[in-house]
Chains A and B, each alone.
Chain A
Amino acid sequence: DAGVIQSPRHEVTEMGQEVTLRCKPISGHDYLFWYRQTMMRGLELLIYFNNNVPIDDSGMPEDRFSAKMPNASFSTLKIQPSEPRDSAVYFCATGTSGGRTDTQYFGPGTRLTVL
């Protein structure tokens, strides 16, 4: 299994531009999570999906952020317009709903720099 795949690995953009981050979950995993990691705030959950449906988006910082999961094998996190304070590493993680096993498997992350 290839694990969770994220693209791009690095993104440098200018303030005001639209940024789209992509995630391909592990096959068979029905939960998908988007996290953001910064020095100031650590690892924080942005949103998560179950069976492609958004379950909890309370961590999405503001309307500039949106996430979609059009099918079981693909999700996007979009920032429009981007701002310098959005600079962070964005991780996608996936898991299964088997019993109480809430183990999440993380992707390599996308390091976003907004100038």
Chain B
Amino acid sequence: AQSVSQHNHHVILSEAASLELGCNYSYGGTVNLFWYVQYPGQHLQLLLKYFSGDPLVKGIKGFEAEFIKSKFSFNLRKPSVQWSDTAEYFCAVNAYTGRRALTFGSGTRLQVQP
């Protein structure tokens, strides 16, 4: 069965600091990878996704993620965070086995201090 690990549970940064959130998955085959963001009190919104091609994926709001197949990783990055980035971030994977459901990581709570 596929699984997703997000090692950073709670990250506190100051505005303008750089961000990198780790995501590792366990599945040896082809995968689709996602990062979702959940702002306080809101629903999950898609930040970016990877299906194939360029392993460096750019998403909304200046976020990007890099798929490193050899490391089974899909880390999320942003060069300069803003207070409005305060949210919970979820990495998710879908192994291309025909089962369409996403497996989510436990989430990383990001707190950006002004």
Q: What B residues does A109 contact at CB under 8 A?
A: 43
Which 8 residue pairs spanning A and B have beta carbons closest together? Answer: A43-B104, A106-B44, A108-B43, A45-B101, A102-B94, A42-B106, A106-B43, A102-B32
Please determine whether A56 and B99 come into contact, CB atoms closer than 8 angstroms.
yes
Distance in Å: Cβ of A38 to nearest Cβ of chain B: 11
Please determine whether B102 and A45 come into contact, CB atoms closer than 8 angstroms.
yes
Q: Is there a chain A Cβ closer than 8 Å to B51's Cβ?
A: yes
Q: Is there a chain A Cβ closer than 8 Å to B90's Cβ?
A: yes
Please determine whether B96 and A91 come into contact, CB atoms closer than 8 angstroms.
no
Cα A91 to Cα B101 in complex, Å, equals 13
How many A-B pairs fall under 8 Å by CB? 50
Q: Is there a chain A Cβ closer than 8 Å to B56's Cβ?
A: no
What number of B residues sit within 8 Å (CB to CB) of A? 23
Within 8 A of B (CB), among A43-100: 43-45, 48, 50, 55-56, 91, 93, 95, 97, 100
Please determine whether B45 and A106 come into contact, CB atoms closer than 8 angstroms.
yes
A93, A100, A102, A103: residue with the most chain B Cβ atoms closer than 10 Å: A102
Q: What A residues does B36 contact at CB under 8 A?
A: 106
Q: What B residues does A95 contact at CB under 8 A?
A: 100
**A101-B43 CB under 8 A given contacts A45-B102, A95-B100:** no
